[in-house]
Amino acid sequence: MTTRPVRIAVQLQPQDADYAQIRDAVVRAEDMGVDVIFNWDHFFTLRGDPDGKHFECWTMLAAWAEQTSRIELGALVTCNGYRNPDLLADMVRTVDHISGGRVLLGIGSGWFERDYTEYGYTFGTAGSRLDDLAASLPRIRSRFEQLNPAPTRHVPVLIGGGGERKTLRIVAEHADIWHWFAGADELVHKLTVLQRHCDAVGRSIEEIEIGAGVGGLGRAGLPPGPPEVDGEPLRALGASLFTINAVGPAYDLSHVEPWLRWRDQVNGP
């Protein structure tokens, strides 16, 4: 079981809603005590009407950074292939300053083919996209060091994905946080693989915060069960960042409240 404090995140899915409804959900999430808010990095909806309402990721994060004062924020996750890595570093640095040091760089290799084809990016293969991600992360860190002003802090890198040969190797080398949508049984196996990769690169797995999606896995947006049922088994394996989906246009956050109470009980005074 991890000694890290439990944190509760909400992913506000940026589809099926007007922006005013998304802005209101951000206010409500911060006011109720959520630790982190995420959106996602796509150009089209992932369920329902394929041409439904949808908004872009990083311009939205800049607005969230300005309207909030406490909550951390980021994408779950940025697609590496949609932006030059040096440009992405500059964007992240800028949002970091707007927020006063609260941005997370959630990043992954990408998977949604329509985003690529309609916006003119090369889709490639799963392997080539992971190779590109591995090449981009050192460039992002290097650009952070060259920017003036520099980021206000070491920007935490969250890597999403569970591929055992390449993704978890990249996690071992570069991630401050690893996020995966998995039940406890699968998480046991993934952590065993991650441990092997950490050993290979000479890094302690304890340096990496473990994040887990709870409730409806992936983009389904289904509410989680009680944290004592859905959270405790994952926490016993080392997870400490728990992410709950919220779908528009209503962005009902009532199912987040039991998780916040559980967080406070676990973390104590």
**Does the pLDDT value for residue 220 go beyond 70?**
no
Percent share of the chain, pLDDT over 90: 93
Sheet containing strand 177-180, strands side by side? 72-75, 36-39, 7-12, 239-246, 209-214, 177-180, 157-160, 105-108, 78-79
pLDDT at 216 over 70: no
pLDDT band at residue 171 under the 50/70/90 scheme: very high
Q: What is the pLDDT of residue 240?
A: 98
Q: Name the DSSP letter for residue 244.
A: E
Query: What is the structure's pLDDT at 3?
Result: 87
- Taking all residues of the chain, what is their mean pLDDT, rounded to a whole number? 95
CA 146 to chain centre: 25
* Residue 208 · residue 179 · CB < 8 Å: no
pLDDT score recorded for residue 1: 65
Would you say 156 and 176 are in contact if contact means Cβ atoms under 8 Å apart?
Answer: yes
CB 26 within 8 A of CB 64: yes
Mean pLDDT score, 63-72: 98
> pLDDT tier at 181 (50, 70, 90 boundaries)?
confident
Which residues, 6 or more positions from 106, have their beta carbon under 8 angstroms from its beta carbon? 38, 74, 75, 76, 77, 78, 158, 159, 160, 177, 179
Q: Which of 43, 168, 153, 172 is nearest to 92 (CA)?
A: 153
Nearest to 78 by CA among 39, 48, 115: 39
90-114 mean pLDDT: 98
H-only helix segments in the chain: 19-32, 57-67, 85-99, 113-119, 126-146, 167-174, 184-201, 227-230, 232-236, 257-267
Residue 215, pLDDT score? 74
Residue type, 108: G
**Is residue 9 a contact partner of residue 39, using CB atoms and an 8 Å limit?**
no
Is the separation of the CB atoms in 22 and 29 below 8 Å? no
Between CA 135 and CA 145, with CA 139 as vertex, the angle to 5 degrees is 155
| Least trusted range by pLDDT, from 140-154, 196-210, 224-238 | 224-238
What average pLDDT does range 67-73 have in this prediction? 98
Query: Which pLDDT value is given to residue 224?
Result: 86
Q: Which phi and psi (to 5°) does residue 49 adopt?
A: -60, 115
